[in-house]
Structure 1
Amino acid sequence: MSSSRHVRFAENVAYTATPSPSYSVSSLPSSYGPWTPPNAFNGNMPLSASAPMLHPMLGFAGPEPNVVFDVTLPTINIRPMKNIPHSVLMEEATFPRVPSLVLTHPRLFWTITVEPSDGGNWVLVRDVFNAIYASLRQQASAGEYDRLGSDVQRQVTKAFSKRYARMPNAQSQTLEKSKGLKRVDFLGSMVTFMGLTPSQIGPNYWELVLA
């Protein structure tokens, strides 16, 4: 019998992108200087001359990312690992700047398209974080779940149960459970943002690295 009986799928729910709460970092020193693209590139070498360079805030930097970001939680919960001020979120995500980015992950059937918010022309650092969270909050279907192998289904089911169990009380847990399986559950236990790395797909595609 399919293990999908252990998870719930929202029926006839149309996803509407709801803006995430604003990222907030308070009382940070201003010693972190503005990004100087030619010097701030931390080894995230593009695959070709046409590929942009990522802002250091976003690039994969090994076992210690520049931010603490659990992708199951709203971006207001992001916290910096270093003395990075709030203003860094308004800096361009790449050099040269781009009007969109596409993110992929091997555990996801979907890509995450990052576009400027608030009528802007270029993708900012905050747009990347907000797009990750908003995309992963979308509902997943029973058909998509059934495409997974049995081992992965068990991981997804466990992630789903863990996610709604984290809600602060029984009422909110029941409500979250009723909303059904979400894309973020397909990541299993890999929900910590580690950064982005260049993708083989093309110069404007980046792979989401999670731990």
Structure 2
Amino acid sequence: MDRRVRFAVDVSPASTSEASLGPITPPQYTRCLVPTQDASMSMPSFAASLASTANSSTSLNKSQFHPALMKPTYDFDVSIHPLNNRSICSNVELQKELNSSMAEIPICHITLQSRHLPWRITISTERYYLTASDVLVGIYNNLRTRASKAEFDMQSRRKQDEISVAFHDRLERRTPPELREQERLKGLRRVDFLPHTALRFGGLEIGKGSDPEIAGENGREAVPHNEYHGVGDTPAAVPTLGGWFAFKYQPQWKAIPASDTKACRGDALPLIHIHEASPLSSPSISFSQLSLLPTPYRLHHTLVNPIFDFDVSIHPLDNPSICNLELQKESVTEPPTRSITLESNHLPWPITVSTERYYLTVFDLLVGIYNNLRTPAKEEEFARESREKQDKIASAYYDRWERRTPSEFREQERCKGLRRVDFLPQTTLRFNGLEKAKGSDTWVMQLRQ
């Protein structure tokens, strides 16, 4: 076979973050628009701007966004994972609604920005488009990113005091007692930079071109706009979530024009992603170290003898046999772990899946396997394989985008290039459980026809 494969230009690891909330719903096209792969938004104080892409010069308007993102009727505290949100998880119809496309035009990438934060929030997906729940989960995951001491020192004295109060409040009053020490060792998070009165998602609103204030004169924090509103004309009361603080007001999120990139560059402050433990505190343990601790882990029974049919080339959210099971809250191992490393006899790379929540769930693991296998493969990785293996990989690549992808997304999928999943034999794509690797702390992923 002499069919050439295409390689992605920008090769970066796929996200292994936790999944959305339920089966995905295809987008409803009410206008004849070419699918868009990119959008850039910013929020006010989270506000947004939409950037046109090479595929489409059409700008999105307010009516083209998912109504659940424009006028939310649910309660979402951005410091709490959506899967732990009672108002979302207890409403099956709302979950289905949130798992439809976030816009009428498919968007695979979105960038958010807050005047309270010196960082951008970037959310992307390896599926055909972002869903509304992808946006909510992406906001939470990004705000759980560690903040460095240098980033803290750049803030004004007043802002530092507010951040410190938010940090201790999160530990002492918003974290279960048995997990407080573990949370303390993780250190400062980006969510601590948000005012505690602006933690409720109030929806997105397309603005009229005002540039959100990111910093005032002399690098000091700008005075925040007093624009905190509830859903509707009056502030909305929010129910308490099982011992977690619930605040009464919600921020109004606005937009900036697509042509104005000043607020979206995020270059006002350097981006430093180094966790620096205080000399007075115990050293923290990284997720990779946690997976190597000599603890006798016991796997969840569904990972030893799977009772579901999981094709690793298809997102678990598109698999009814998985979504119907109670796997989103059950731990992968006993005792719980936040990281696990897998290997396969068919792949030259390990698969590492981790979480920023308190433990890794079975559903997180399945989504992590899918996301990892969607990572673009490099040309040199392909070249290292034998000629026979290269032919099989090329055949799998063409089969994936020509026969296993909906017709309207085939060209988009072809342009994304070769993926790690193409290195797997096409006759063994179904998950068949995990086995402990001999003489190693990793697990071997078994596949079947």
| Pair in the same fold by TM > 0.5 | yes
1:24-71 CA-to-partner distances (Å, cap 9, x unmatched) read 5x8xxxxxxxxxxxxxxxxxxxxxx94311101111x3xxx3111111
Q: Distance in 2 between matches of 1:144 and 1:156?
A: 11
1:71-128 CA-to-partner distances (Å, cap 9, x unmatched) read 11111123438xx953333111111222211010011121111212xx3122111111
Q: Distance in 1 between matches of 2:16 and 2:434?
A: 24
AA paired with 2:412?
A: L
- In structure 1, the gaps of 5 or more residues are 27-48
Within the candidate set 298, 317, 326, 1:76 is matched to 317
Q: Distance in 2 between matches of 1:199 and 1:89?
A: 26
Q: Distance in 2 between matches of 1:159 and 1:14?
A: 21
Q: Distance in 2 between matches of 1:16 and 1:115?
A: 13
Match of 1:57 in 2: 302
Distance 1:23 1:128, change over 3 A: farther
Q: Distance in 1 between matches of 2:360 and 2:354?
A: 6
**Pairwise CA distance, 1:208:** 0.7
1:147-191 CA-to-partner distances (Å, cap 9, x unmatched) read 11111111111111111012221x421110111000110112121
Within the candidate set 363, 387, 390, 1:153 is matched to 390
Find the residue that maps to 2:432 and give its secondary structure: strand
1:118-140 CA-to-partner distances (Å, cap 9, x unmatched) read x3122111111011011111100
Distance 1:139 1:78, change over 3 A: same
- Asked if the contact 2:341–2:352 (Cα under 8 Å) also holds between the matched residues in 1, the reply is yes
Match of 2:405 in 1: 167
Match of 1:38 in 2: none
- In structure 2, the gaps of 5 or more residues are 24-91, 93-293
Q: Distance in 2 between matches of 1:152 and 1:16?
A: 23
**Does 2:436 correspond to 1:198?**
yes
- Asked if the contact 1:21–1:74 (Cα under 8 Å) also holds between the matched residues in 2, the reply is no
Q: Distance in 1 between matches of 2:392 and 2:364?
A: 29
Match of 1:96 in 2: 335
Bigger proportion of residues as strand: 1
**Does 2:142 correspond to 1:142?**
no
Q: Distance in 1 between matches of 2:354 and 2:348?
A: 20
Find the residue that maps to 2:15 and give its secondary structure: coil
AA paired with 2:7?
A: F
Distance 1:114 1:23, change over 3 A: farther
Find the residue that maps to 2:336 and give its secondary structure: coil
Q: Which has the higher contact order (CA 8 A, sep 6+)?
A: 1
**Pairwise CA distance, 1:209:** 0.6
- Asked if the contact 1:196–1:208 (Cα under 8 Å) also holds between the matched residues in 2, the reply is yes
**Pairwise CA distance, 1:15:** 4.4
Distance 1:111 1:18, change over 3 A: closer
- Asked if the contact 2:16–2:368 (Cα under 8 Å) also holds between the matched residues in 1, the reply is no
Q: Distance in 2 between matches of 1:85 and 1:77?
A: 11
Match of 2:152 in 1: none
- Asked if the contact 1:195–1:209 (Cα under 8 Å) also holds between the matched residues in 2, the reply is yes
Find the residue that maps to 1:196 and give its secondary structure: strand
Match of 1:41 in 2: none
Structure of higher CA gyration radius: 2
**Does 2:6 correspond to 1:8?**
yes
AA paired with 2:430?
A: T
Shift >6 Å, 4+ stretches: none
Q: Distance in 1 between matches of 2:317 and 2:324?
A: 14
Q: Distance in 2 between matches of 1:17 and 1:50?
A: 27
Find the residue that maps to 2:328 and give its secondary structure: helix
Distance 1:18 1:98, change over 3 A: closer
Query: What's the Cα RMSD here?
Result: 2.6
Find the residue that maps to 1:208 and give its secondary structure: strand
Q: How many residues align?
A: 177
